[in-house]
Amino acid sequence: MKPQDLTDLALRNLREAILRNALTTVGVAVGVASLVAMLSLGVGLQQLASKRLSQSGLFDTIFVTPKNNFRGMGRPQREVESDKPPRPLDEDARLELEKLANVIEVYPQVRFFTEVRFNNKPYATVVGGMPDSSRNSGAFDGMQGNFFSSPKADEAILQIEFAKDLSDKPASLIGQELTLRYAERQAIPAVDNNAASRAPEPSGGFSVVPKELRLKIVGIVETEPAAGYGGYGNARLLMPLKTASTLRAAQVNDLRDIVRGTTTTKTTYPSLSVRAKSPSQVEALEASIKNLGFNAFSLLDASKSLRTFFSVFDLLLGIFGSLALAVATLGIVNTLVMAILERRREIGVLKALGAADSDVQQLFFVEAGVMGFLGGILGVAFGWLLGRAITFGTNLYLKRQNLNPIELSSVPWWLVIAALAFAILVSLAAGLYPASRAAKLNPVDALRYE
């Protein structure tokens, strides 16, 4: 029989026992719905976790240091194989790193311990410079107030605990000003008649001069994003990285460079953070940075094991979701076996009129497939609704706990197509036995059947 005639007859047969077939189809739909709902939760949670992790900056950032850096406290400096001096991590190097493929930004760590005055009271704290790229990374989602108005603004974002130290009502701090007192490095001119032609920071060292800067508080954030990664503890006062850099505030590494006499005529950085476009590009990027002659370090392995975790998690959810579909499969088998009994005579007539075994088999197969297809469509819709309902309920709960809403379930296109294909495949498998049983019916017996 031609496919069109086959489908035609199958649909007609399905319509004849509409209630039974509709119930079977709903059974398939419930099975698919539970599968879709489970997997949409798995996918949603994975996306949520990946988003949070990429926001944290831990997995798309590579920490770069010069090769001659101390490997650790109390350990000897690494032997450098070649006679060539190690490459300094200076501005040229920073620009070169920035030109590598898939790099968003390369920025130094600016972080220093200092004193803040607010309402004429002193507070000791760590100040951290925030690169402008963190504006769009979502790292500051859910903060009170706003991100810095410009990359060079004299503005500050406070960490919530620090804000609580400053005021009982942290939210009221937004818009107020505080004073940052810091130690500025000032180069000591070398004893040289040509000093004017020299770079601003010659090897003569520097003196430290106390300075002040007024900052407007624009926002309050729960924690510092990417805190502690290659840094020196959490910063409790954040300011734009460029503003922080222009302060020339004395940093921990400055003393080390003086002692080691590695200062050059250019600004050198103790470390640089290279931000990749996505965590998947980190591995290749890390290799090319090492090729340039620097040490590079990332948390890629942690992200890999996270992906493994979610694969297993999705698999488990999928297995639980499939249980309902397995039960629905039995429903299809039952419905079709019943249909064979009821349509025994009809099968006999079809065979007497010249239907081959394969025609009869295909007819039952198509009936199973149609039930699977319709059940699949219905099930995907149910599953999506179920996911939305779970997200809605969760967000109601989170709202009561004064937490930000989250997108708990996600139904991507691949899940829709996979669920439909799975539903049809499972239904066809369920139709396998009834179809072959119908095909094997002896036409003489079938025609005699009343």
Partner 1 sequence: MPETQPAVQLDHISRHYQMGETSVRAVDDVSLSVACGEYLALLGSSGSGKSTLLNLMAGLDRPTSGSILANGENLAALSPLNLARYRRNIIGMIFQSFNLLPRMTLEENVELPLRLAEVERSERPGRVREALERVRLTHRFGHRPMELSGGEQQRVAIARALVNRPKILLADEPTGNLDSATGEAILSLLRDLRTQLGMTIVMVTHERPLAERFADRLATMGDGKLLNTSPSLRGAAQ
CB atoms within 10 A of CB 264: 13
Q: Of 65, 181, 58, which is closest to residue 120 (Cα–Cα)?
A: 181
Q: How far is CA 209 from CA 111, 177, 212, in A?
A: 17, 23, 10
CB 354 → partner 1: shortest distance, Å?
A: 2
By DSSP bridging, strand 61-66 and strand 144-145 are unpaired
Is residue 363 within 8 Å of residue 7, measured between CB atoms? Answer: no
CB 1 → partner 1: shortest distance, Å?
A: 6
CB 349 → partner 1: shortest distance, Å?
A: 5
Is residue 379 within 8 Å of residue 36, measured between CB atoms? Answer: yes
Nearer to partner 1, 132 or 346 (CB): 346
Element (H, E) at 382: helix 357-400
Nearer to partner 1, 236 or 343 (CB): 343
CB 337 → partner 1: shortest distance, Å?
A: 20
CB 345 → partner 1: shortest distance, Å?
A: 7
Q: Of 268, 247, 246, 248, which is closest to residue 257 (Cα–Cα)?
A: 268
CB 25 → partner 1: shortest distance, Å?
A: 20
Nearer to partner 1, 7 or 167 (CB): 7
Nearer to partner 1, 285 or 355 (CB): 355
Nearer to partner 1, 302 or 352 (CB): 352
Q: Tokens standing for 139? A: 């790292």
Q: Of 426, 417, 407, which is closest to residue 50 (Cα–Cα)?
A: 407
Nearer to partner 1, 1 or 337 (CB): 1
Nearer to partner 1, 8 or 91 (CB): 8
Is residue 239 within 8 Å of residue 155, measured between CB atoms? Answer: yes
- Which residue do the tokens 């209630």 mark? 19
State the Cα–Cα distance between residues 444 and 26, nearest whole angstrom.
Answer: 36
Nearer to partner 1, 8 or 177 (CB): 8
- Which residue do the tokens 């944290």 mark? 56
Nearer to partner 1, 184 or 346 (CB): 346
CB 373 → partner 1: shortest distance, Å?
A: 22
Q: Which amino acid would we find at residue 126?
A: V
Q: Furthest-apart CA pair in the chain: how many Å?
A: 121
Q: Contact positions toward partner 1, by CB under 8 A? A: 1-2, 4-5, 9, 12, 16, 345-346, 348-359, 443-444, 447
Q: Is 442 helix (H, G, I), strand (E, B) or coil?
A: coil
Q: Which amino acid would we find at residue 121?
A: K
CB 444 → partner 1: shortest distance, Å?
A: 5
Q: How far is CA 255 from CA 64, 185, 263, in A?
A: 20, 11, 11
State the Cα–Cα distance between residues 95 and 272, nearest whole angstrom.
Answer: 11
CB 353 → partner 1: shortest distance, Å?
A: 5
- List, in order, residues 6 or more apart from 176 with CB less than 8 Å away: 118, 216, 217
